[in-house]
Structure 1
């Protein structure tokens, strides 16, 4: 069931049919011939930031698999007892973090 308010539905259908006839060269035989020059293809220009974002997304997509591999290696090393903690590196990173937090708090 369709509802026609002020014959809008019928009028819209006629306009669509007319537009289709105009755009279809076989239907519109009496229309002007179409231009022989080809239209330029559409182009999109990305800003530098958008290009950087796209590059980062690509890097993240590839790093996910390498990160998953690294996590699997670490889990295996922990499970078999071969993982060794570098105490000096942990202490340095803790000290660096503490220093950065003090700078933020000031």
Structure 2
């Protein structure tokens, strides 16, 4: 192991040199990080017009009750006036269709 006897008289100079070397390394690391950050692309998100339209329609559907109140009022009025006719054959056919779909029978 070699010993540098030239610096024995001035140990503060050795410490100063090491501090300067560390500062230079840190500065080089900061510059490298800044260079890498400048070269990196920023992430971005863009929404297609179809997605925007879908979002608007979804919001509109969420705000609606799903009931056609005008149609309900017309049926109520027809029942009250005795004008509402029920097609029993069609009703029976739809009940059978519903039950077959519900229970998996055809």
Tell me if both proteins adopt one fold, taking TM over 0.5 as the criterion: no
Please give the TM-score of this superposition, normalised by the length of structure 1.
0.41
Higher-helix-fraction structure: 2
Instruction: State the structure with more CA Rg.
Output: 2
